[in-house]
Amino acid sequence: MSKLSHIDDKGEARMVDVSGKAATARRAVAEGFISMRPETLALVETGEAKKGDVIGAARIAGIMAAKKTHDLIPLCHPLAITKASLDFAISHKPSGIHVTAEVKVSGQTGVEMEALTAVTVACLTLYDMLKAADKTMVIEGVRLVEKTGGKSGAFTAPERRKERS
């Protein structure tokens, strides 16, 4: 196993020193899925959820989360994010909402954690806004889909099966 970048020679946690790295264009895409009963999904589709525009609120929460990742995840660098966007796709089989986040920066470190945090917080917001109707919702499949830029180069996750159980 390679040496972990957040652990120093004494085994102590540290923030990685990126001051010697050149700023480059970096991008990360993450995804997640929140499954729910068809009746709950219908509330989202018709706009009849008691708390209002749940997707609009989840989009804003995800963008805010990307910008605040360094406050939530220890040892993450604060970044001047140049783009944070979220997309929501309704799914009837399985019943739920697929959430995708894209984050960009021109900087010395990547934005994978920001994209993952955006997706997770967006899904949590959907749960919060719909929990009165459905406490059986499940957040699943949160993962990095793609990243570009930086020393480690490009990464694309393997394709997932379309059908979830």
User: Cis (ω within 30 of 0) for the bond into 38?
Assistant: no
How is 34-71 classified by DSSP, letter by letter? EE--HHHHHHHHHT--TTS-HHHHHHHHHHHHHHTHHH
CB neighbourhood size of 96 (10 A): 26
Residues with catalytic roles: 128
**Contact between 88 and 55 (Cβ < 8 Å):** yes
**Contact between 27 and 104 (Cβ < 8 Å):** yes
